[in-house]
Amino acid sequence: MELGFTIAAYVVAAVLFVLALGGLSNQESAKRAIWYGIVGMLIAVLATMIGPGSGLWWVSLILIVIGAAIGHQLATRVQMTQMPELVAIMHSLVGLAAVFVGFNADIELGRVTAEFHAQGLPFPRPEDVTVEGAAFAKTFSGFAAILAKKTAVEVNILRIELVLGIWIGAVTFTGSVIAYGKLAGKVSSAAKQLPGGHILNAAAAIGSLAMAGLYLSGAEVWTLVLLTLLALFIGYHLIMRIGGADMPVVVSMLNSYSGWAAAAIGFSLGNDLLIVVGALVGSSGAILSYIMCRAMNRSFVSVILGGFGGTSGPQASIDGQQVAIDADGVAAALNDADNVVIVPGYGMAVAQAQQSVSELTRKLRNSGKDVRFAIHPVAGRLPGHMNVLLAEAKVPYDIVLEMDEINDDFPETDVVIVIGSNDIVNPAAQDDPNSPIAGMPVLEVWKAKQVFVSKRGQGAGYSGIENPLFFKENTRMFFGDAKESLDKLLPIIN
């Protein structure tokens, strides 16, 4: 076992991972950067298999091949609209793996302790280690060899790390499974909670702390099992309480957790590469959550603990009525317009309308019109979800703009088409201080000359917040399924 070689390989892998993430700063370098990530992973796995993990080679290999086959199936079969589900379920795997590895570390610790005691030697290693003790420690291999050299303080720290790794891993696991269920429509996406609400969570958290305390003071493995169960409950209950539109925050948060779990396990295994990558992933997820929260003008805590922020009075009521329009009217306006902005939302993903949107864009652009897309940071169910869908439909990425890039251009825009988005274009966020989304940055589509809203029917969207945009004088409602509506529109655009 040449440890020096393994660590050198880890250094290379760590650098490659950083480059892989850094390359995502633009679309072209990202295509190269992904290879850095793949090569880094290959180096890391090979170095580990040759080095510290040399036992049961063939089992590892077979399992990796099976895993590869399943992973390949998943990755090639998945629809781009289902990306949020896939990402969520993959997080759950990382979480569960972290729980298993954490338990293993505890079992191994118990085994090593038992063997030392069977030899009549003290364990953890005392300060004045005897020659026999040191010699016996050398008889262990793999992970056990690292454990055998630990002193009492080190063993305690190891246990803290274990508890953390298992706890975060377990929360990530159930949280991700529920998030997956909600995103895939297998669990109702409405915010639900068991009677007791936050008190249940708080009780579970206190219970976890108590179990951790017991375990650290030397109790048996059952404390760890109980702790895991409590963590699983917290993950389940926390995410059950969060509604569909907040999913971007949830998914990025779980992304972050899966990283922290890996880092905690890295500490307990004494593996620096695990720590590095865990920290990279953890901070990445944290930044994403922060960006998403800022885009909704809500604090992280208020999103995670569910429910909207405090409101101080009744929402302003809306006068006027929604005016419907048919495909011919929309087509006429589009034919007259010089510049058009399309605002896609989750409704576009649900209706699988991205190809029709792309076709519409192509037609309008061919007739010399300036067509651009405005993407709100929390549009869809995953950070950057809309970008991926539009890219899949071959919409060139340089006409797909962020909120800050395009918000000032709305007053000069002839026609805005809102497809399946609601809260992110709600003027109440700016006008009505009592609105639940007051202060949230929104796309100011109502400043355009004309706005068409493609929407399945009347009524408020997910959040139940009335949208004054639909009642504005320059707004026309284009009711119907987004894909069908657009397909009706396509042949009459010239």
Take residue 49 and report the two structure tokens written for it.
């298999």
Interface with other proteins in residues 410-429 (CB under 8 A): none
83 touches other proteins (CB under 8 A): yes
216 touches other proteins (CB under 8 A): no
Q: Which stretch binds other proteins (CB under 8 A): 120-128, 151-159, 199-207, 425-433?
A: 151-159
Interface with other proteins in residues 288-317 (CB under 8 A): 288, 291
For the four alpha carbons of 93, 167, 378 and 32, in that order, the dihedral sign comes to: negative
Nearest-approach distance from CB 460 to other proteins, in angstroms: 27
Query: 423 catalytic, yes or no?
Result: yes
93 touches other proteins (CB under 8 A): yes
Instruction: Give the nearer residue to other proteins in terms of CB position, either 41 or 209.
Output: 41
392 touches other proteins (CB under 8 A): yes
The rounded distance, in Å, linking the Cα atoms of 329 and 326 is 6
Take residue 262 and report the two structure tokens written for it.
């890996």
Exposed / middle / buried, residue 430 (Cβ in 10 Å: 0-12, 13-18, 19+): middle
Residue with tokens 């959550």: 289
- Candidates 2, 5, 8, 24: give the one binding other proteins (CB under 8 A): 24
In terms of Cα–Cα distance, which of 490, 493, 474 is closest to 325?
A: 474
The rounded distance, in Å, linking the Cα atoms of 99 and 490 is 52
123 touches other proteins (CB under 8 A): no
Interface with other proteins in residues 34-63 (CB under 8 A): 34, 37-38, 40-41, 44-45, 48-49, 52-56, 59-60, 63
Residue with tokens 């905690």: 264
199 touches other proteins (CB under 8 A): no
Instruction: Give the nearer residue to other proteins in terms of CB position, either 40 or 436.
Output: 40
Nearest-approach distance from CB 40 to other proteins, in angstroms: 8
Binding mask of the shown chain, residues 359 to 378, with x at each position contacting other proteins by CB under 8 A: ----------------x-x-
Q: Which stretch binds other proteins (CB under 8 A): 85-93, 236-244, 305-313, 417-425?
A: 85-93
According to DSSP, residue 478 is labeled: E
The rounded distance, in Å, linking the Cα atoms of 454 and 57 is 57
Instruction: Give the nearer residue to other proteins in terms of CB position, either 91 or 241.
Output: 91
Give percent helix, percent strand, percent coil of the chain, each to the nearest 5: 65, 5, 30
- Cα distances (Å, whole numbers) of residue 447 to 50, 217, 331, 407, 439: 63, 64, 20, 10, 18
Instruction: Give the nearer residue to other proteins in terms of CB position, either 242 or 274.
Output: 274
358 touches other proteins (CB under 8 A): no
Pairing of strands 400-402, 415-419: unpaired
126 touches other proteins (CB under 8 A): no
Contact 27, 397 (CB under 8 A): yes
- Cα distances (Å, whole numbers) of residue 326 to 28, 299, 313, 454: 41, 41, 37, 11
139 touches other proteins (CB under 8 A): no
465 touches other proteins (CB under 8 A): no
Element (H or E) spanning 479, and its range?
A: strand 475-479
Q: Which stretch binds other proteins (CB under 8 A): 181-189, 193-201, 265-273, 422-430?
A: 265-273
**Active-site choice (423, 431, 432, 487):** 423
The residues carrying an active-site annotation are 423
